[in-house]
Amino acid sequence: MDLYSGYINKLIDELAGLPGIGNKSAQRLAFHLINLPEARVQRLAKAMVEAKQNVRYCKDCFTLTDSEICPICANDRRDHTTIMVVENARDLAAYEKTGKYTGVYHVLHGAISPMLGIGPHDIKLKELMERLSGEQNIGEVIIATNSSLEGETTAMYISKLIKPLGIKVTRIASGVPVGGDLENIDEVTLLRALEGRVEL
C-alpha cells in the first residue's frame, strides 16, 4: 500500500532494521526527519557515513577509534600491565566515566552465547590471547563482562584460557547496586551479594 510516497516508504524500511526501532518508531522518525530543516538531515546523513568510513578498531585493544591506536592505549600514563576485558566499547566508556580505572582495556565485541550461536571465535578472544602471549609484563586481567548468562559464560571461558599462562585473572564483583533498594532487587543478585559479603 503506497500511502505516503516511495521516498518515505524507503526511509521507513531503512530505519526499521535498526536496533530498538520497530515499524512504528521508524514511521515516527521518518516523518520527523522530513519535517527537519534539510541542513540538519544532511548533517546527520554525513555524520553516519563519515563515522562508518573513518572509525576502525584500535590495533591493541580493539575499541573503536579513528586512529591506529586509541587514545587510551597511546597514553603512557596508563598502567599497561593491567587489562580490563569488556564486551563492547560502551562498557569501556562506562568504566572510563568513573575516572578511577588507570589500566588499559580489551574489547571483545560480544560475549559467548550458545543460544545465539556466538562462539569464542566470533569475538575478539584470539586477539586477547595473542596480546597476552606477546607482551611479557601483564600483571592482571580483570574480566568485566556483563553479569548476564552470556557474560558469566565468557568470563569463565576466558579465565580458563588465561590461568595456564600464569597471569592473575580477576572478575568484577556482583551484588546489590549502590543506592539499590533491597526489596526491588532480584533474588539472584541478593544471593550473589550474600555470597560475596566482605568483613567490616
Q: Which residues would be at the binding site for a copy of itself (CB under 8 A)?
A: 1-8, 10-11, 13-15, 18-21, 25, 27-34, 36, 38, 41-55, 63-67, 71, 88-90, 92-93, 96-97
Phi, psi at residue 183, to the nearest 5°? -65, -20
Nearest distance from C-beta of residue 16 to a copy of itself, angstroms: 11
Indicate the residue among 33 and 185 with the shorter CB distance to a copy of itself. 33
Tell the residue number behind the cell numbers 566470533, with chain if given.
122
Indicate the residue among 98 and 137 with the shorter CB distance to a copy of itself. 98
Nearest distance from C-beta of residue 192 to a copy of itself, angstroms: 25
Among residues 31, 4, 38, which one has the least CA distance to residue 15?
31
Indicate the residue among 95 and 193 with the shorter CB distance to a copy of itself. 95
Nearest distance from C-beta of residue 147 to a copy of itself, angstroms: 18
Q: Give the Cα separation of 122 and 113 in Å (integer).
A: 10
Q: What is the amino acid identity at position 184?
A: N
Q: What is the amino acid identity at position 148?
A: S
Indicate the residue among 64 and 167 with the shorter CB distance to a copy of itself. 64
Nearest distance from C-beta of residue 193 to a copy of itself, angstroms: 25
Contacts of 14 (CB under 8 A, 6+ apart): none
Among residues 109, 101, 145, 146, which one has the least CA distance to residue 127?
109
